[in-house]
Amino acid sequence: MSNETFSLIGIYGGTFDPVHFGHLRVAEELIEILQLDEIRFVPAGHPRLRNEPIASQHHRKIMLYEAIRDNKKFFLDDRELRRSGESYSVASLRELKEEFKGKKVAFCFIIGVDAFLKLPNWHLWRELFELSHLVIVNRPGHISFQHQACLPPKLQEACSDRWTDDVNALKHVSSGFVFTAETTLLDISSTTIRAYIAAEKSARYLLPDNVLNYIGTHHVYTRENENR
Residues that bind ligand ATP (CB under 6 A): 14-17, 22-23, 26, 111-112, 114-115, 137, 139, 186, 188-191
Q: Which is nearer to ligand ATP, 8 or 63 (CB)?
A: 63
Give the integer Cα–Cα distance in Å for 141 and 43. 23
Q: How far is the first Cα of the chain from the last one, in angstroms, to the nearest whole number? A: 50
Report how many helices (DSSP H) and strands (DSSP E) the chain contains, helices first: 9, 8
What's the one-letter identity of residue 38?
E
Backbone region of residue 150 per phi and psi (left: phi > 0; alpha: psi in -120 to 50; beta: other values): left
Max CA pair span of the chain = 56
Do the Cβ atoms of 159 and 119 come closer than 8 Å? no
Work out how close the CB of 82 gets to ligand ATP at its nearest, in angstroms, rounded to a whole number.
18
Q: Which is nearer to ligand ATP, 16 or 74 (CB)?
A: 16
Work out how close the CB of 55 gets to ligand ATP at its nearest, in angstroms, rounded to a whole number.
10
Work out how close the CB of 42 gets to ligand ATP at its nearest, in angstroms, rounded to a whole number.
10
Work out how close the CB of 169 gets to ligand ATP at its nearest, in angstroms, rounded to a whole number.
22
Q: Which is nearer to ligand ATP, 172 or 192 (CB)?
A: 192
Q: Which is nearer to ligand ATP, 104 or 120 (CB)?
A: 120
Report the sign of the C-alpha dihedral through residues 140, 55, 135, 68, in that order. negative
E strand or H helix at 11: strand 7-14
Work out how close the CB of 164 gets to ligand ATP at its nearest, in angstroms, rounded to a whole number.
20
Q: Which is nearer to ligand ATP, 17 or 77 (CB)?
A: 17
